[in-house]
Amino acid sequence: MSDNLEISRRRLLGTVGAAGATGLALGAAGGAAGHAVLGDGDGGGPALATVGSARVPFRGAHQAGIVQPAQARGHLVAFDLAPGAGRKEAVALMRRWSAAAEPLMAGEPAGSADSGVAGDAGPCSLTITFGFGASFFDRTGLVARRPQQLEPLPVFSSDQLDPKRSGGDLWVQVGADDALVAFHALRTLQREAGAAARVRWQMNGFNRSPGATAHPRTARNLMGQIDGTGNPKPTDPGFDGHVFVAPGGAQPWMTGGSYAVVRRIRMLLDDWEKLRLKDQEAVIGRRKSDGAPLTGGTETTEPDLDKLGPDDRPVIPADAHARISAPEQNGGATMLRRPFSYHDGIGPDGTPDAGLLFVCWQADPRKGFVPVQRKLDRGDALSPFIRHESSALFAVPGGPADGEYVGQRLLEA
């Protein structure tokens, strides 16, 4: 069967509505641009479900996988360039990766050698995002083009980092609402790396599946807490300024790009689950049932950080996570969190290796992640129940224009 015949079976059906929030596809301007596809009577079988048909554009002002809702499945993988590989090999690699990512995100085969693993599925909100670590610029002789925003993150007292699962020359983030589609993309990119790069580390994550709730809801993490209530939204004033690099910077190739901080945060669930509900809520500063602040209201009600209880103590404790991480407590520091949960099995001692693959996006990590994490490091009530086990920082360039591959403005300027 030819690729063209397979593709002809996919027809536009409509726009994904707000009720399918995890299936929304946000284009370069942040608008909804979901597409659905349908068998057209040529024997191609039944129409794809809405979840399967949602498509995210590959090209635009920003790369995909930043403003889109986090998908049900995710893979984070870092590569190191092979010994002896440099700028020439990096150019060829980014060309291959971009040439593969574009059809994959459209729900199409990635060339004639495609494995067919995802052949029965549509795009499933697949996003593929590429970034460069600080070491990439040394390896490719592009040190003069390394942004200052890529300076090493500070050391935090809660860090117990594994260097083998930290850093990396290159980074790829894959997300999709179907596990086979996500795996297929990951496997294709790993194969296309060829002899130019080798995997340094890989992490696999998940979120709630689209349609699992009657209407879109903020996800819960593995502690059972609603996680992400205060995330900035693309419609918020100043959103782009907080998340994306504006034109006119010292490194023009980063215009429209963002910086991704990636942290593997293990949750000490045995200790956490021993706490009474009241104590868990005091640690977070929000009700566990609905995510509302302890000062009352609903999930989206602004916490009243000045409100005192009958004992004349703050209703939201001074060391509550919600208080310490609030932008108004950190000089307005803002970042867009887009995490996945993970579970990597049960250890010999019976404790789960589970937690959060924390990914946050900002125009400058020195003004986003760093000040917030410094504040948390000095007295967050949540700290005894988590452990930061890996860390990385990547420059993620803007999206490719027509005819470009990702990173071309860096590598060929």
63 neighbors 406 (Cβ within 8 angstroms): yes
Q: Which residues contact 369 (CB under 8 A, 6 or more apart)?
A: 153, 261, 335, 360, 362
Q: Which residue reads 């803007």 in tokens?
A: 398
Rounded-to-integer distance, Cα 280 and Cα 224, Å: 10
End-to-end CA distance of the chain: 41
Active-site residues: which are they? 227
The CA radius of gyration of the chain, in Å to the nearest whole number, is 22
Rounded-to-integer distance, Cα 35 and Cα 52, Å: 10
Rounded-to-integer distance, Cα 360 and Cα 375, Å: 16
Q: Where are the alpha helices (DSSP H) in 82-124?
A: 87-105
Rounded-to-integer distance, Cα 128 and Cα 126, Å: 7
| DSSP sequence for 187-252 | HHHHHHHTTTEEEEEEEEEE-PPTTSSSS--PPB-TTS-B--TT---TTSTTHHHHHSPPTTSS-G
- Give the rounded distance of the alpha carbon of 3 from its chain centre: 31
216 neighbors 157 (Cβ within 8 angstroms): no
Rounded-to-integer distance, Cα 207 and Cα 222, Å: 10
Q: 268-277 — which CB contacts under 8 Å span 24+ positions?
A: 268/351, 268/384, 268/385, 268/386, 268/387, 269/222, 269/223, 269/351, 269/352, 269/354, 270/351, 270/352, 271/384, 271/385, 272/223, 272/385
List beta partners, residue 259: 362, 395
